């Protein structure tokens, strides 16, 4: 039977989010209902409510979540009731041209639930990134549920569902950071901080954290940065070159999403080095670079969506490393809040003292 649960929705562009009652249908074929235990507050949730993603209001917000599978629909074998799962927005289809080329991490036709969750009056909700997890329960495609070790704290595990995975993956999957590499990370919020952590995990020898906020630089040091540069007071390109024998870093991760910081990343990498853009720009932003420099400096200019992750491969592995004390995922949980604290958490994002606020249910 369809259930009524509490959830956070964005009803109209720019309006404050509200806690309301929604209707979650029973899972149909290939679907699962998940009882949410924790869900992090991400910039993308704020972009949805500001109308920056599309106009399909009302949105059911929240997408960095962990919980327990309550029920599954017909034909679902990969997860079952009672499983502890992290929700992902890359349930690979196995059929599209990316999947067929053996590159499921780029899947172009990822699955979401077919049925719609609704308001009490029947209005259909658009779940953020096909998840919608600021809710006591949500309906997703079964492939969006990735089983991980239930010993992990839900508030920590859920963060792997988006921003933290994006940052770790930007370094190790997209950037290919390896043992002995020099890495610079520009912008050390939740995503950039995770890129620092991922670089340490991969054995990078030098990890240079760049930010305009000293609090973020102190945080990055705890996550494994070997050097820090405040780019408000110091030219980051010169500083990164000076720290790498005048050459630039092997891999530079741009985790801000602005033309100025991208240009810094471009010039702060060594010849034949790699730039990874994981920060998300806005539609009006333009990049201008001498084409000769693009050619002459060689190497690779890459973008990283969701850290090029494959949830089934990456989530359980990263959770295991966390449980072994080898990956400090706990550092990203700055505060835990309740469902009615999401609007305030959006405000706190701008104050800069939060890596992640996490709703715990
Ligand atoms: N130079 C260096 N650092 C900067 C600059 C700049 N010009 N402008 C902002 N920053 C820093 C901020 O001080 C902050 O530490 O970038 C960091 C951004 O972090 P958060 O606001 O926590 O954002 P985060 O969740 O890490 O996401 C980063 O990725 O997912 C996208 O939309 C997201 O574009 C954003 C980016
Ligand atoms: Zn596919
Ligand atoms: Zn997110």
Beta carbon of 45 within 6 Å of any ligand 1 atom: no
- Any ligand 1 atom below 6 A from CB of 192: yes
* Mean predicted lDDT score pLDDT of the chain: 97
CB within 8 Å of 257: residues ≥ 6 apart:
187, 277, 279, 280, 281, 282
State which of 212, 256, 280, 354 you would mutate to test the pocket of ligand 1, scoring each by most atoms of that ligand within 8 A of its C-beta. 256
**Is position 323 within any domain?**
no
CATH number for 136: 3.90.180.10
Could you tell me how many residues make up the chain? 361
Q: Which ligand is nearest to the CA of 53?
A: 1
Shared domain check, 8 and 150: yes
Q: What CATH number does residue 248 fall under?
A: 3.40.50.720
Q: Are residues 45 and 100 in the same domain?
A: yes
Q: In angstroms, what is the span from residue 126 Cα to ligand 2's centroid?
A: 22
pLDDT the model gives residue 105: 95
Indicate the number of domains in the chain.
2
Ligand 1 pocket test: pick from 52, 89, 255, 332 the residue with the most ligand atoms within 8 Å of its Cβ.
255
- The pLDDT tens digits of the residues spanning 304-338 come to 999 999 999 999 999 999 999 999 999 999 999 99
Single out the residue in 288, 304, 320 at which a domain terminates.
304
Q: Give backbone dihedrals phi and psi of 140, rounded to 5 degrees, phi first.
A: -135, 170
Q: Are residues 128 and 199 in the same domain?
A: no
pLDDT digits (tens, 9 = 90+) for 12-44: 999 999 999 999 999 999 999 999 999 999 999
How many Å is the Cα radius of gyration of the chain?
20
Say yes or no: CB of residue 141 within 6 Å of ligand 1.
no
Q: Is residue 91 part of a domain?
A: yes
Residue 213 and residue 76 share a domain: no
Q: Please report whether residue 52 resides in a domain.
A: yes
Measured between alpha carbons, how far is residue 239 from residues 197, 211, 266, 267 in Å?
A: 21, 12, 14, 11
Confidence band for 352, pLDDT divided at 50, 70 and 90: confident
Q: Is the CB of 256 under 6 A from ligand 1?
A: yes
Closest C-alpha residue for ligand 1 atom 21? 189
Judged against a pLDDT cut of 90, whether residue 134 lies above it is answered with yes
104 and 214 housed in the same domain? no
Has residue 249 got a pLDDT over 90? yes
Q: Is the CB of 280 under 6 A from ligand 1?
A: yes
Residue 94: its pLDDT value, please? 94
Residue 44 sits in the same domain as residue 136 = yes
Q: Is 54 a domain residue? A: yes
Asked if the structure places residue 321 within a domain, the reply is: no
Give the pLDDT of residue 350.
85
- What residues pack around ion ligand 3 (CB closer than 5 A)? 42, 44, 162-163
Structural domain includes residue 347: yes
**pLDDT higher than threshold 90 for residue 353:** no
Q: What is the pLDDT of residue 79?
A: 98
Residues 133 and 184 in one domain: no
Output the pLDDT for position 222: 97
Query: Whose Cα sits closest to atom 8 in ligand 1?
Result: 256
CA 350 to ligand 3 center in whole angstroms: 16
pLDDT tens, residue by residue, 258-280: 999 999 999 999 999 999 999 99
**pLDDT computed for residue 29 by the predictor:** 98
Nearest alpha carbon to residue 307 among 197, 133, 174, 152: 174
For the entire predicted model, the pTM comes to: 0.97
Q: Whose CA is nearest to atom 19 of ligand 1?
A: 189
Establish if 83 belongs to a structural domain: yes
Same domain, 193 and 294: yes
**25 and 94 share one domain:** yes
Same domain? For 155 and 176 the reply is: no
Q: How far is CA 92 from CA 6, 10, 95, 309, in A?
A: 29, 28, 8, 11
Ligand 2 center to residue 107 CA distance, Å?
4
**Any atom of ligand 1 within 6 Å of the Cβ of 76:** no
Give the pLDDT score at 108: 94
| Digit-coded pLDDT (tens) for 197-219 | 999 999 999 999 999 999 999 99
The answer on pLDDT for 344 being more than 90 is yes
Query: For the segment 176-202, what is each residue's pLDDT rounded down to a tens digit?
Result: 999 999 999 999 999 999 999 999 999
98 and 243 both lie in a single domain: no
- Regarding whether 295 and 190 lie in a shared domain, the answer is yes
- pLDDT at 1 (0 to 100): 87
**Tens of pLDDT along 73-112?**
999 999 999 999 999 999 999 999 999 999 999 999 999 9
The atom number, within ligand 1, closest to the CA of 191 reads 26
Is 317 domain-assigned? no
Per residue, the 3-state secondary structure of the chain, as one string, reads: CCEEEEEEEECCCCCCCEEEEEEECCCCCCEEEEEEEEEECCHHHHHHHCCCCCCCCCEECCCEEEEEEEEECCCCCCCCCCCEEEECCCCCCCCCHHHHCCCHHHCCCCCCCCCCCEECCCCECEEHHHCCCCECEEEEEHHHEEECCCCCCHHHHHHHHCHHHHHHHHHHHHCCCCCCCEEEEECCCHHHHHHHHHHHHCCCCEEEEEECCHHHHHHHHHHCCCEEEECCCCCHHHHHHHHCCCCCEEEEEECCCCHHHHHHHHHHEEEEEEEEECCCCCCCCCCCCCHHHHHHCCCEEEECCHHHCCHHHHHHHHHHHHHCCCCCHHHHCCEEECHHHHHHHHHHHHHCCCCCEEEEC
Domain of 271 in residue numbering reads as 169-304
Query: Rounded distance, CA 80 to CA 200, Å?
Result: 35
């Amino acid at each position: 039977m369809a259930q009524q649960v509490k959830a956070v929705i964005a009803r109209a562009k720019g309006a404050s989010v509200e806690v309301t009652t929604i209707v979650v249908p029973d899972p149909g074929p290939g679907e699962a209902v998940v009882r949410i235990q924790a869900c992090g507050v991400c910039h993308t949730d704020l972009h949805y409510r500001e109308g920056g993603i599309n106009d399909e209001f009302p949105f059911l917000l929240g997408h960095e979540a962990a919980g327990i599978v309550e029920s599954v629909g017909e034909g679902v074998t990969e997860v079952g009731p009672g499983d502890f799962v992290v929700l992902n927005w890359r349930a690979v289809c196995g059929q599209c041209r990316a999947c067929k080329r053996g590159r499921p991490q780029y899947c172009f036709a990822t699955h979401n639930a077919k049925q719609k969750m609704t308001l009490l009056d029947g209005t259909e909700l658009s779940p953020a990134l096909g998840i919608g997890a600021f809710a006591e329960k949500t309906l997703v495609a079964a492939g969006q549920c990735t089983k991980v070790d239930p010993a992990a704290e839900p508030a920590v595990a859920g963060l792997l569902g988006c921003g933290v995975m994006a940052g770790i993956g930007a370094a190790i999957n997209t950037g290919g950071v390896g043992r002995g590499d020099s890495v610079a990370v520009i912008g050390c919020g939740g995503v950039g901080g995770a890129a620092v952590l991922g670089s340490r995990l991969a054995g990078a020898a030098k990890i240079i954290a760049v930010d305009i906020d000293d609090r973020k630089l102190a945080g990055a040091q705890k996550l494994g940065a070997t050097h820090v540069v405040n780019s408000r007071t110091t030219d980051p390109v010169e500083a990164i070159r000076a720290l790498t024998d005048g050459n630039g870093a092997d891999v530079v991760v741009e985790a801000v999403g602005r033309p100025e910081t991208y240009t810094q990343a471009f010039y702060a990498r060594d010849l034949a080095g790699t730039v990874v853009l994981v920060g998300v720009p806005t539609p009006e932003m333009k990049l201008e670079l001498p084409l000769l420099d693009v050619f002459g400096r060689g190497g690779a200019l890459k973008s990283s969506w969701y850290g090029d992750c494959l949830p089934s491969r990456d989530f359980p592995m990263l959770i295991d490393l966390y449980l072994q004390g080898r990956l400090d995922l706990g550092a990203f949980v700055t505060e835990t809040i309740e469902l009615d604290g999401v609007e305030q958490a959006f405000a706190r994002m701008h104050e800069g003292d939060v890596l992640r606020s996490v709703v715990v249910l």
